[in-house]
């Protein structure tokens, strides 16, 4: 994403994230049920209150151009409501 993204499910706001350096991840678990839904994503390329400096490669037309919309992958992952996060095994060969 370039700067700020906002996500809605069926016109209910899921959240907003603002980062140029990391992926924007949203948990839709509380918004999705069985059936048909509409997922909306808005990407705002405005600079707002972020001082990136003169001729920063992330926004200047003379170095990298100004990106538009979603840059990189977009995916929807499904995971069970109950899962094991970290499993550690300590084998004891002598037993």
List, for residues 1-12, the tens digit of each pLDDT value: 457 899 999 999
pLDDT (tens digit, 9 = 90+) per residue, 37-55?
Answer: 999 999 887 777 767 676 6
- Kindly report the length of the chain: 95
- Phi, psi angle pair for 18, to nearest 5°: -135, 100
Tell me the C-alpha distance between 65 and 68, whole Å: 9
More confident residue, 19 or 1: 19
Count of other CB atoms within 10 angstroms of residue 4: 18
Residue with tokens 């003169």, as numbered in its chain: 54
Per-residue pLDDT at 79: 79
SS3 4: strand
Tell me the C-alpha distance between 25 and 28, whole Å: 10
Q: Structure tokens of 69?
A: 């919309």
């Amino acid at each position: 994403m370039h700067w700020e993204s906002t996500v809605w499910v069926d016109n209910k706001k899921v959240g907003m994230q603002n980062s140029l350096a990391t992926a924007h991840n949203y948990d839709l678990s509380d918004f999705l049920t069985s059936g048909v839904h509409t997922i909306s994503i808005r990407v705002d390329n405005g600079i707002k209150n972020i001082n990136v400096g003169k001729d920063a490669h992330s926004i200047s037309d003379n170095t990298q151009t100004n990106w538009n919309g979603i840059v990189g992958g977009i995916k929807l992952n499904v995971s069970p409501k109950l899962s094991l996060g970290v499993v550690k095994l300590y084998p004891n060969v002598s037993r």
